[in-house]
């Protein structure tokens, strides 16, 4: 991890650590925190150097996200979405890549790739109508992706020669969308992952992609699959949140004397075992993640596309890190006794945040089935990798 990026991530973490309750209550990351992160260039990680970005190695970005998540999962979630969405800068044509990512050094892109919108072909582009969930950080974004299916004037799907729908990823300017107030949740509340909507917004040709059909213009980082890199970001948040859970339990255990006991929580055997097991879960899953990312990046920087083997291991490492992190958090929550029942305990928010992060599509249990089929030599839908 670059020393400047690590230093910035640690300074941001120190600033937001005491503001967790405030961020959760506001249901969004405060503007002053976003402004600070913008000024440090923390949303430039995945933007090409040719456009003024950092084009950082994947592990550097993932470590940055993990460090922020150790302080606050919601803030890390917004940083993750803004960073990973910027991979589109390596796919868009040169004009729109420069227009969106090369003119404003503080640009933030966010949005949702799920195709809940509808797009109609018009002269010079498409018109997009729809409403999207999971718009993390959308109220801070300058541009928003709104996944859409191509339809005709009657609203019927237009299919390609293979019978597949056209899943488009149009980029909508912030003034083309309306932000709705729908984000009332029990975890990751501060991520501001609320709905947004638009009606017949014009998106010119070149400012939209067809998911799975446009190929990256650039090597290295941009050879990572778009959704796959998003998944890597999600599990990095989980690793950071799990590390915070261990930290909090250790702090608690040193001083807490359970009811009807003469000894501190730290002196109980089951607590000692829980801490050891949690450490093993976090450290081993991080090691597998590093192995997968480093192997894929080495191939990507040598000029070749990622193989199915690379992509399968990335997906496996991603889901494993998420699931093992949740296991670590559960161990710490249970070892703490009644303390995390109260919202004033950091372990309360950590538990809730973790169990929202695990629900993300990219780290769901079906990943194991998909990757297992690959390792067994069975037919699989490789688009899922």
Burial of 368 from C-beta contacts in 10 A (0-12 / 13-18 / 19+): middle
CA distance readout (Å), 377 to 278, 308, 372, 374: 33, 12, 9, 5
Q: Which of 45, 13, 4, 54 is nearest to 237 (CA)?
A: 13
Q: Would you place residue 1 in the very low, low, confident or very high pLDDT band (cuts 50, 70, 90)?
A: very low
Tell whether the model's pLDDT for residue 175 goes beyond 60.
Answer: yes
Beta bridge partners of 146: 112
Name the CA dihedral angle for 182, 185, 188, 193, rounded to a multiple of 10 degrees: -10
> Which pLDDT score, from 0 to 100, does residue 73 have?
98
Average pLDDT estimate for 379-384: 86
Query: If DSSP codes are grouped into helix, strand and coil, which group holds residue 163?
Result: coil
Tokens describing residue 350: 């950590």
Give tens-digit pLDDT for 220-234: 999 999 999 999 999
Rounded Cα distance, 65 and 220, in Å: 20
pLDDT digits (tens, 9 = 90+) for 26-64: 999 999 999 999 999 999 999 999 999 999 999 999 999
pLDDT in tens, 256-305: 998 888 899 999 999 999 999 999 999 999 999 999 999 999 999 998 78
For 259-312, give the secondary structure using H, E and C: CCCCCCHHHCHHHHHHHHHHHHHHHHHHHHHHHHHHHHHHHHHCCCCCCHHHHH
Query: In whole angstroms, what is the distance from residue 237 CA to residue 186 CA?
Result: 17
Once rounded to an integer, what is the mean pLDDT over residues 332-343?
A: 96
Nearest CA among 362, 150, 338 for reference residue 259: 338
Phi first, then psi: give them for residue 272, nearest 5 degrees: -60, -45
CA distance 123 to 355: 45
- The dihedral over CA atoms of 69, 75, 77, 79, expressed in degrees to the nearest 10, equals -100
Residue 61 to residue 8: CA distance in whole angstroms: 12
Closest alpha carbon to 137 in 177, 96, 108: 108
| pLDDT at position 261 | 84
CB of 143 closer than 8 Å to CB of 107: yes
* Average model confidence (pLDDT) across the chain: 96
State what percent of residues in the chain have pLDDT above 90: 93
> Would you say residue 158 has pLDDT above 60?
yes
Residues with Cβ within 8 Å of residue 125, at least 6 apart in sequence: 202, 203, 204, 205, 207, 208
Whether 3 shows a pLDDT value over 80: the answer reads no
Dihedral sign for Cα 37, 39, 40, 41, please: positive
List, in order of start, the domains of the chain with CATH numbers.
3-90 (1.10.540.10), 109-210 (2.40.110.10), 224-384 (1.20.140.10)
Instruction: Provide the whole-model pTM.
Output: 0.96
């Amino acid at each position: 991890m670059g020393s400047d990026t690590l230093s910035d991530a640690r300074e941001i973490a120190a600033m937001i650590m005491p503001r967790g309750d405030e961020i959760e209550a506001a249901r969004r990351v405060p503007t002053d925190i976003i402004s600070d992160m913008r000024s440090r260039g923390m949303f430039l990680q995945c933007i090409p150097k040719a456009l003024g970005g950092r084009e950082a190695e994947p592990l550097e970005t993932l470590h940055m996200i993990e460090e922020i998540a150790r302080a606050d999962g919601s803030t890390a979630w917004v940083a993750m979405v803004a960073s990973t969405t910027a991979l589109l800068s390596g796919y868009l044509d040169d004009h729109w890549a420069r227009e969106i990512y090369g003119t404003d050094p503080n640009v933030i892109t966010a949005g949702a790739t799920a195709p809940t919108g509808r797009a109609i072909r018009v002269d010079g582009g498409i018109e997009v109508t729809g409403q999207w969930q999971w718009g993390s950080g959308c109220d801070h974004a300058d541009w928003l992706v709104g996944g859409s299916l191509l339809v005709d004037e009657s609203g019927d799907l237009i299919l390609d020669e293979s019978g597949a729908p056209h899943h488009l990823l149009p980029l909508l300017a912030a003034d083309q969308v309306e932000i709705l107030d729908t984000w009332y949740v029990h975890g990751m509340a501060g991520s501001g992952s609320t709905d947004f909507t638009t009606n017949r917004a014009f998106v010119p040709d070149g400012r939209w992609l067809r998911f799975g059909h446009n190929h990256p213009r650039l090597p290295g980082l941009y050879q990572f699959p778009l959704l796959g890199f998003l998944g890597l970001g999600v599990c990095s948040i989980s690793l950071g949140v799990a590390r915070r859970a261990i930290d909090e339990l250790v702090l608690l255990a040193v001083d807490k004397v359970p009811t009807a006991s003469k000894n501190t929580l730290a002196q109980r055997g089951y607590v000692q075992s829980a801490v050891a097991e949690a450490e093993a879960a976090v450290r081993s899953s991080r090691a597998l993640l590093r192995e997968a990312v480093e192997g894929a990046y080495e191939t990507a920087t040598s000029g070749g596309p990622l193989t199915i083997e690379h992509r399968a291991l990335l997906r496996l490492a991603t889901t494993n890190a998420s699931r093992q992190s949740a296991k670590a958090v559960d161990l710490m929550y249970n070892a703490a006794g009644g303390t995390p029942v109260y919202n004033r305990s950091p372990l309360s928010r950590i538990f809730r945040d973790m169990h929202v992060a695990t629900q993300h599509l990219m780290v769901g249990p079906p990943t194991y089935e998909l990757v297992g089929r690959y390792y067994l030599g069975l037919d699989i839908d490789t688009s899922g990798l």
